[in-house]
Structures are given as structure tokens and as C-alpha cells.
């Protein structure tokens, strides 16, 4: 069952509608929603044109939008505001449409501005001025794709309002362009795709080379199991250098191996031609992670959660040791989860902070949560934010 029509979400929608009118003096033309995502497995494989297996979650960005008519003074201006920070009167970021360019907008407003900019790169498309107010409950910096939820909610809104007829795949590509070229974060295409294409109670098995996608049922309810998210509250950012450095290593490995992407490499033995041990380890993670995604799809289809759990931990070890994108807090969260009885656990998202996930029996939620909090307290870390998520529907009109 989808959470997109839950009483809580419907209450947020009505509250956003009222705040929009209070802020702008007009009613929005509509409200659109886009979920964050948890990546079950397949980390950093997307920009290597490999395989990923994310799912949309029941936390989302809501965007209210009204196009500014040609008769109004601000017809060629974007007015962007957010409820984040809980201010009664949100601050409006104003930017002229003809001044949209990479680097011209900073902070959270760069993401919806980037979408307008990317759409205006298309032939026969002219996105003019609009008013926007966003409300999101996707934790920022948690590795659950809060920025992509904002971008996707914006692009589905503009696609509807301007009747652009863009497919989910094309919208994913355009939001990736917005993220890469306007915001300056060299991300792949997984997060946008998960937010756009997911189905409730399913994971999305995506081939990032062909962009072919298929749903894979998550047999959680049948096994009385849940996905527990442990937000370490160590914020990360894809704009920072670690993410870009990993991507550069993958490109270097591909060049040495004379392939267009590491997707073409199927065995670790093929990596022996790479002399640099660091670059070789980075490439090893991509090759083995692609295989883990394929293996996870197979065992999910037969409902073997124990096998899924083993693959999740193998993925974490690879990210910790070969790709080196974990951190002490993530490692503690994963190990404490497993020691307390989790079926499997791994860090999720781009790394360098953010969240881990644990696959647990419902009866173990409290025990695992307690064990993680105790481990964090003993290590002197901030108290983590721990919550369960369900696999929810992809983006659309709210």
C-alpha cells in the first residue's frame, strides 16, 4: 500500500497549499510529489553504466507551483521558497530566467533552478517565470536523495504544466544533466530513476546502460521483515570532492582497460592490468557490486532474505575497504545492527556519511535500534535518527 495518500501526506498537502497562498497571494496550479529513495544494493555503479536496485520510500518532497503570466511584472522570474527551517514566512530566492547559468544559484534553490535551466536547453521548450514552494520530509544529508526528490518533483510539475510529454527516462536524464552541469555534482542516474519509476512494495532493477527497468517484488511483509534506516546524522554532499575522486578513478580504470565503462568488465581477474593499487581497488568494487546486484535480484525472486542479508554485508565491506566511502559512524551502525540480530546491513547512498540500512525482522526493530544507539553513545557520536521505511510509489501529482 502506498503512503502517498496517507492522512499525514494529505495534511501536508493542504498545509502547503495554504502556505503558498499566504506567501504569494495566489493559489498554486497544483502540487506534485517525489519520494526519496533507499538503495538496497548497487552503489556507485550507476555512473559506471552498471546495475542498481533502489526503491522509493515513504518520505517525499512536495512542490506547489504556479506559472507567472505574461501580464505580471515577474513574468520572467523564478520565485523559489521552502518551508525548511519552519519559518512562518519563508524567504524567497528570486532569479531571472535569462540569468540561469551554472553557478548562478546556490543552496537548495539551485536544484529547482537547475531543472528549469535543463528544460530550457531543449528545442522548442521555454520555461518562463513561476512561483514555487517546497515542503520535504526527506532528511537532508542523510543519503536518501533529498536533492533528487526536489529536482524530480519540480520536473514532473513542469512536465505537466507545460505539457512537455517527457517520459520518465527522459526526465531522469534531464535531472541528471541539471545535477551534473548546473549544480556541479557528478552524480549518476539512479536516484532520479528510483524517484520517477518505482512502484509500491517493489524495488527497481535498473540497467544504467540501456535504461531498461523492471520491478522486483520485495517480500518483506510476507517474511515479517522491514528495512530500518539508521541516519548517522553525519551529513554528506555530492558536490564535495570525495565523490568526484571516486568517479575519476573509475574513468581512469576504464581508460587503462580500454573500455567505455567498467560495466564491460565482468571478472576481477581482468583488473590485473591496472598497476595503481588504489585505482584497482576502486574498479574491483564496481565489478563485484554489479554481480551482487544481479545475485540479489535472483534471491529476491525466490524470497530468500537470508541470502539478501549476506549480499548486503558483502557490499558494505566492499565500500568500506575497496571503495573507501564509509566512515566510522556507518561502520558502527552496520556492525551493531548485525550483532543485535539484523539479517543484513550496509551503508547506503553516496557515502562519506549519511545512512546505513538494516534488514530486520519486525520483532527485532527495538532490539536493533537500542543496540545501535548504545554503540553510538559509547563511541561518543551524535544520537542517530532511526526509522523504518516502506517501498512506495514513484513521483506524480499529489
CATH number for the domain including 161? Answer: 3.30.230.10
Rounded Cα distance between 211 and 188, Å, is 12
* Pair (209, 228) in one structural domain: no
Tally of structural domains, the chain: 2
Residue 63 belongs to a domain: yes
Q: What is the pLDDT of residue 186?
A: 86
Instruction: Say whether pLDDT at 139 is over 90.
Output: no
Q: Which of 215, 244, 274 is the last residue of a domain?
A: 215
Say whether pLDDT at 239 is over 70. Answer: no
- Same domain for 157 and 206: yes
Q: Cα separation of 46 and 325, whole Å?
A: 16
What is the model's pLDDT at position 70? 92
Q: Would you say residue 369 lies in a domain?
A: yes
pLDDT value for 253: 98
How far apart are alpha carbons 337 and 346 in whole angstroms? 9
Say whether both 179 and 241 belong to one domain. no
Does residue 16 fall inside a structural domain?
yes
Q: Which residues contact 48 (CB under 8 A, 6 or more apart)?
A: 188, 208, 250, 254, 261, 262, 263, 286, 290
Contact 61, 135 (CB under 8 A): yes
Q: What is the DSSP letter of 56?
A: E
CATH code of the domain covering residue 279: 3.30.70.890
CA 280 from centroid of its chain's CA atoms: 27
Same domain, yes or no, for 129 and 181? yes
CB-based burial label for 11 (10 Å; 0-12, 13-18, 19+): exposed
Q: Which residues are catalytic?
A: 191
For the CA atoms of 119, 122, 160, 187, what is the dihedral angle to 10 degrees? -50
Residue 391 has pLDDT above 60, yes or no: yes
Name the DSSP class of 180. I
Residue 2 belongs to some domain of the structure? no
Q: Where residue 380 falls among pLDDT bands split at 50, 70, 90?
A: very high
Q: Which of 154, 182, 215 is the last residue of a domain?
A: 215
The pLDDT of 336-349, averaged and rounded, is 97
Give the other-Cβ count within 10 Å of 132's Cβ. Answer: 27
Q: Is the pLDDT of residue 1 over 60?
A: no
Cell 505574461 sits on residue: 70
Given a cut of 60, is residue 324 above it in pLDDT? Answer: yes
Say if residue 187 is in the same domain as residue 236.
no
Residue 13: pLDDT over 80: yes
* DSSP per position, 241-295: HHHHHHHHHHHHHHHHHT-SSGGG---GGGGGG---HHHHHHHHHHHHHHHHHHH
- Going from the C-alpha of 119 to that of each of 115, 127, 175, the distances in angstroms are 6, 7, 9
Is the residue at 395 inside a domain? no
User: Quick one: 210 and 223 in the same domain?
Assistant: no
The residue range of the domain holding 92 is 7-215
Please tell me the predicted confidence (pLDDT) of residue 241. Answer: 75
pLDDT in tens, 167-196: 999 999 999 999 999 999 888 899 999 999
Question: Does one domain contain both 168 and 148?
Answer: yes
The pLDDT confidence band at residue 140, using thresholds 50, 70 and 90, is confident
* Same domain? 229 vs 190: no
33 and 171 share one domain: yes
Decide the pairing of beta strands 51-67 and 93-96.
Answer: unpaired
**d(Cα 116, Cα 20) in Å, to the nearest integer?**
20
Which of 105-114, 156-165, 168-177, 227-236 is predicted least confidently? 227-236
Chain segment 39-54, per-residue pLDDT in tens: 999 999 999 999 999 9
Examine residue 396 and state whether it is found in any structural domain, yes or no: no
* Summary mean pLDDT of the chain: 95
At residue 196, the pLDDT reads 98
Is residue 96, in this structure, part of any structural domain at all?
yes
* Domain contains 353: yes
pLDDT at residue 88, rounded to an integer: 73
Whether residue 335 has pLDDT greater than 90:
yes
pTM above 0.85, yes or no: yes
Last residue in a domain, options 215, 235, 265:
215
Confidence of residue 240 (pLDDT cuts 50, 70, 90): low
Name the more confident of 127 and 143.
Answer: 127
pLDDT tens digits, residue range 78-125? Answer: 999 999 866 677 999 999 999 999 999 999 999 999 999 999 999 999
Q: How far apart are CA 377 and CA 299, in angstroms?
A: 36
- In a shared domain, residues 165 and 255: no
Q: Within this chain, do residues 188 and 236 fall inside the same structural domain, yes or no?
A: no
pLDDT of residue 89: 79
Q: Are residues 288 and 374 in the same domain?
A: yes
Q: Residue 86's pLDDT is what?
A: 62
State yes or no: pLDDT of 217 exceeds 60.
yes
Amino acid at each position: 500500500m502506498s503512503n502517498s495518500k496517507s492522512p499525514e501526506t494529505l495534511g501536508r498537502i493542504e498545509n502547503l497549499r495554504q502556505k503558498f497562498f499566504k506567501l504569494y497571494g495566489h493559489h498554486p496550479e497544483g502540487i506534485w510529489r517525489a519520494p526519496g529513495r533507499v538503495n538496497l544494493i548497487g552503489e556507485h555503479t550507476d555512473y559506471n553504466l552498471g546495475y542498481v536496485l533502489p526503491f522509493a520510500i515513504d518520505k517525499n518532497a512536495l512542490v506547489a507551483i504556479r506559472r507567472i503570466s505574461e501580464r505580471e511584472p515577474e513574468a520572467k522570474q523564478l520565485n523559489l521558497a521552502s518551508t525548511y527551517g519552519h519559518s512562518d514566512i519563508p524567504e524567497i530566492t528570486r532569479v531571472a530566467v535569462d540569468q540561469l547559468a551554472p553557478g548562478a544559484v546556490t543552496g537548495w534553490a539551485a536544484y529547482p533552478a537547475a531543472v528549469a535551466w535543463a528544460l530550457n536547453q531543449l528545442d522548442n521548450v521555454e520555461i518562463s517565470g513561476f512561483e514555487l514552494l517546497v515542503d520535504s520530509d526527506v532528511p537532508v544529508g542523510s543519503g536518501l536523495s533529498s536533492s533528487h526528490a526536489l529536482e524530480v518533483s519540480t520536473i514532473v510539475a513542469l512536465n505537466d504544466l507545460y505539457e512537455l510529454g517527457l517520459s520518465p527516462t527522459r526526465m531522469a536524464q534531464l535531472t541528471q544533466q541539471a545535477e551534473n552541469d548546473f549544480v556541479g555534482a557528478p552524480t549518476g542516474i539512479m536516484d532520479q530513476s528510483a524517484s520517477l519509476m518505482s512502484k509500491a512494495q517493489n524495488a527497481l532493477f535498473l540497467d544504467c546502460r540501456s535504461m531498461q527497468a523492471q520491478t522486483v517484488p520485495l517480500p518483506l511483509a510476507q517474511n515479517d521483515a522491514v528495512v530500518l534506516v539508521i541516519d548517522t546524522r553525519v551529513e554528506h554532499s555530492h558536490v564535495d570532492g570525495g565523490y568526484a575522486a571516486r568517479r575519476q578513478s573509475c574513468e581512469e580504470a576504464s581508460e587503462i582497460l580500454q573500455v567505455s565503462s567498467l560495466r564491460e568488465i565482468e571478472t576481477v581477474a581482468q583488473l590485473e592490468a591496472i598497476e595503481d593499487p588504489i585505482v584497482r581497488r576502486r574498479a574491483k568494487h564496481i565489478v563485484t557490486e554489479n554481480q551482487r546486484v544481479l545475485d540479489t535480484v535472483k534471491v529476491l525472486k525466490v524470497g530468500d532474505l537470508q541470502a539478501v542479508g549476506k549480499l548486503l554485508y558483502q557490499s558494505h565491506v566492499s565500500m568500506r575497504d575497496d571503495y573507501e566511502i564509509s566512515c566510522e559512524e556507518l561502520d558502527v551502525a552496520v556492525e551493531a545492527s548485525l550483532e543485535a540480530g539484523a539479517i543484513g546491513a550496509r551503508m547506503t547512498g553516496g557515502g562519506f556519511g549519511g545512512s546505513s540500512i538494516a534488514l530486520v525482522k519486525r520483532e527485532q526493530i527495538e532490539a536493533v535500534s537500542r543496540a545501535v544507539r548504545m554503540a553510538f553513545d559509547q563511541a561518543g557520536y551524535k544520537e542517530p535518527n532511526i526509522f523504518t521505511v516502506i517501498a512506495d510509489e514513484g513521483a506524480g501529482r499529489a
